[in-house]
Amino acid sequence: MEGAMAGIGQIGGMLPLLSNMIPVNPARAAPDPDVIRNARAAMERMKAEPDAAQTARFFATKAHSVLRRNGEIAAIQWSDGTTEVRKPTGQPWDKERLIQQGMSSGLSQGQMNDLYVRDLAKTLGAGISIDRYDGRADAPSRRDLMDSPVSGPARGRRLSLVA
């Protein structure tokens, strides 16, 4: 066969059958009791009610800015850096790009929030009014704004923004 390529039929007799090499019922190692115990504990934690203190902190988070259109909330920028868009437009909003831009510029959390609000207002389009709270104690919390499209009168410092 020198110089010639061997076909599959010619090689087949030279190779052992794959099924002869792989055990059908391999012996299994005994399960590690710590792994099982940890997995069960994790499942129980997932089923459990959320931590009350964590839930309270979540709902106590204050708004950095509330963006409104026709008196209804279109979006909220929270003081912790999260953003809630209630009335999206057809245009995508690229927060990831803004995060990269802000991080590379060394912006503080407050400056990042300002960056998000300006860009989000432009994305949401004309007719957007912005109430900015500057960390004030009377800023509405998540609890205040949770289910309300209007959530009462605007209490923030009104910004003029051309969007």
Using one digit for the tens of pLDDT, what is the confidence trace for 101-114?
766 777 788 888 88
H or E segment and range at residue 159: strand 157-159
The answer to whether residues 150 and 67 touch, using CB atoms and an 8 Å cutoff, is no
SS (H, E, C) 25-38: CCCCCCCCHHHHHH
Beta-strand pair 128-132/63-69: antiparallel
- Predicted TM-score (pTM) of the model is 0.58
- List, in sequence order, every residue forming a beta bridge with 83; answer none if it has no partner: 77
Using one digit for the tens of pLDDT, what is the confidence trace for 51-87?
777 788 888 999 999 999 888 888 898 988 888 888 7
